Amino acid sequence: MSPALDPRSRGAVESYVDDTLRSMPEYLRAGVLAESLLFGASPRVAQLFGRLDNAALRARVERWRTSRIDFVRQYVRLLQSLVLFAENELAPNGTA
């Protein structure tokens, strides 16, 4: 969700998102886990067969972001907001 970050900043952002998700109550984490498994299965299979590139993945995330189904949009918004916050708070000198 953040292709412009350098490896060090990317690691800090990933760590922040991971820690934040781990600090959520169990019932919320269960929902995020279920959605991650559901939404991640198809891209993972496509990646295994060499049919997934960055453009296809971005297009898929954009479809989820604009989906008519509430929980699909909310899943993407949750992850994007965590990444955005971490980028702005953890990236050195505010660069992302």
Q: What are the residue boundaries of the structural domains of the chain, listed by start?
A: 7-89
pLDDT at 27: 92
Q: Which long-range contacts (CB under 8 A, 24 or more apart) does 70-77 make?
A: 71/35, 72/35, 72/39, 75/32, 75/35, 75/39
**Where is average pLDDT lowest: 1-15, 20-34, 68-82?**
1-15
Compute CA 64 distance to the chain's CA centroid, rounded to the nearest angstrom: 11
The values of phi and psi at residue 59, to 5°, are -65, -40
State which of 9-13, 33-37, 49-53 shows the largest mean pLDDT: 33-37
Sequence-distant (6+) residues with CB within 8 A of 90 are: 9, 12, 13, 16
pLDDT at 89: 85
- What is the value of pTM for the model shown? 0.76
